[in-house]
Amino acid sequence: MIVLIVHGIVYRKIKTKTKMSFYGFKKQFNKTSQFLSEKVAGNKGSQLDEEYVELERKVDIVTQGIGDFQAKVKEYLQPNPNARTRLAMQGAIQKAKGQQRNVRYPQPEFNLGDVFTRAGASLDDGSPYCSALTDLGEAFNQISEFKDTMEYSVKQNFLDPLFQIQQKDLKEIQHHRKKLESRRLDFDYKKGKGAKVPEEELQMAEEKFDESKNLSYNSMMNFMESDVEHVGQLHSFTEAVAEYHKQCAEVMERVCAELGEKLNEAASRPRAERSFISRPVSKFSTGSTEFEVLEADGSAASASISAPVAPARDVAPPVLAVPPPPSKVPSARAIYDFEPENEGELPFNEGDMIELTGRIDENWLEGRFNGHSGYFPENYVEIVVPL
């Protein structure tokens, strides 16, 4: 008896579930039929009021704009797509290893400053030119730090809030609009059937349609009226960019004044006395050697010194060593030591020969040395055999 009751309950549950599943399928079929009748046969469905349609248009524009803002601002902050890809790969590797993400975008200002700084350090003669190179290199290094700060500020106060809007506000609006369209199709299908649909069922479908319309309208209206939040995000972005350019202008004005002082210093320094340079020119026919002397004004005077004439004899032509054929393997010679700061970079010392395996972008190469492969900046090496 108990078993029969249990089976009876189970049977009724299964029967109810099957009935609900069939009802849902039928409802979906009805909405699909209404959709096709509108798109193919040209039947008119329930029209939304002009205010709602205009609000939808504005939301669509803002939604598209937010996606474009994110893409173009990222390109503005990090214009090199290959470097962005490399950064993303390094960040993913560090995240997989459980390490804190500390990779930095290779700012072109830093690469430019590094060139000036290294040239000044290599020259190292205390001249105004050497000092000017060092000052200019430090200025561009400062600018690269300012750009890193601007990038962080824009990400925190502009890009991240836009991402949150996409994930929360716009997704909620899209959900309400999608549900509204579904309920409209259901209501229009039942309305088109006329007396075949019970009055209570038609009224319920209309109420659900009106409810979704109000929810969708209110969510879009609340979003569009959030001007304080939206304008505040644009203001934060503009403020970060303005601060960056202000700092750059201050640094360049300062270094420009310093280079002006060094220019005056270089112009006031006396020129070093020039020594005469003698260039011997052999005269095999007369057995004498003629010297060409450079005067201070740049003119040349000649003088000759006679030498005893040796007896004529046959002189064998010198044998020239044939250089070995150049290597065809792309390679480069390190002109500075390079210590990696990020995962995947290749360390080496001055004078090392590196086999080149590829180019990442206009500033970074990929190579192999001492059994290791990785990336390194091109301005640290001298290309021996190009790729």
The answer to whether residue 246 sits within a structural domain is: yes
The verdict on 262 and 343 lying in the same domain is: no
The answer to whether residue 6 sits within a structural domain is: no
Strand arrangement, sheet containing 288-294 = 278-283, 288-294, 300-306
- Specify the pLDDT at position 327: 52
- Each residue of 53-101: pLDDT tens digit? 999 999 999 999 999 999 999 999 998 888 888 877 877 777 777 776 6
Q: What is the Cα–Cα distance from 380 to 387, expressed in whole angstroms?
A: 16
3-state secondary structure of 104: coil
- Specify the pLDDT at position 201: 85
The answer to whether residue 256 sits within a structural domain is: yes
Q: How many domains does the chain have?
A: 2
Q: How confident is the model at residue 333 (pLDDT cuts 50, 70, 90)?
A: very high
The answer to whether residue 343 sits within a structural domain is: yes
pLDDT at residue 309 greater than cutoff 90: no
Q: Return the amino acid letter for 118.
A: R
The verdict on 257 and 344 lying in the same domain is: no
The verdict on 336 and 232 lying in the same domain is: no
pLDDT at residue 17 greater than cutoff 50: no
Last residue of a domain, one of 267, 282, 300: 267
Residue 242 phi, psi (nearest 5): -65, -40
The verdict on 257 and 343 lying in the same domain is: no
Name the residue with higher pLDDT: 162 or 187: 162
pLDDT at residue 355 greater than cutoff 60: yes
Q: What is the Cα–Cα distance from 372 to 369, expressed in whole angstroms?
A: 5
Last residue of a domain, one of 243, 267, 291: 267
Contact yes or no for 189/275 (Cβ under 8 A): no
The verdict on 101 and 240 lying in the same domain is: yes
Residue 376 phi, psi (nearest 5): -160, 155
The answer to whether residue 148 sits within a structural domain is: yes
The verdict on 229 and 109 lying in the same domain is: yes
Last residue of a domain, one of 217, 240, 267: 267
CATH, residue 372:
2.30.30.40
- Specify the pLDDT at position 98: 72
Instruction: Indicate the pairing of strand 364-369 with strand 372-377.
Output: antiparallel
pLDDT at residue 287 greater than cutoff 50: no
- Specify the pLDDT at position 38: 61
CA atoms in the 13 A half-sphere facing the CB of 196: 5
Strand arrangement, sheet containing 372-377 = 372-377, 364-369, 353-359, 331-334, 381-385
- Each residue of 101-140: pLDDT tens digit? 667 788 999 999 999 999 999 988 888 999 999 999 999 9
The verdict on 59 and 174 lying in the same domain is: yes
- Output the CA angle 148-154-159, nearest 5 degrees: 130
The verdict on 249 and 336 lying in the same domain is: no
pLDDT at residue 47 greater than cutoff 90: no
- The domain of 379 spans 331-385
The verdict on 241 and 335 lying in the same domain is: no
Segment 234-251 mean pLDDT: 97
Average pLDDT, the chain: 80
CATH, residue 106:
1.20.1270.60
- Specify the pLDDT at position 36: 67
The answer to whether residue 335 sits within a structural domain is: yes
The answer to whether residue 29 sits within a structural domain is: no
pLDDT at residue 195 greater than cutoff 90: no
pLDDT at residue 1 greater than cutoff 70: no
Name the residue with higher pLDDT: 358 or 38: 358
The verdict on 262 and 337 lying in the same domain is: no
pLDDT at residue 279 greater than cutoff 70: no
For the chain, percent of residues with pLDDT exceeding 90 = 46
| Residue with token string 């309208």 | 217
pLDDT at residue 323 greater than cutoff 70: no
- Specify the pLDDT at position 29: 59
The answer to whether residue 120 sits within a structural domain is: yes
The verdict on 229 and 345 lying in the same domain is: no
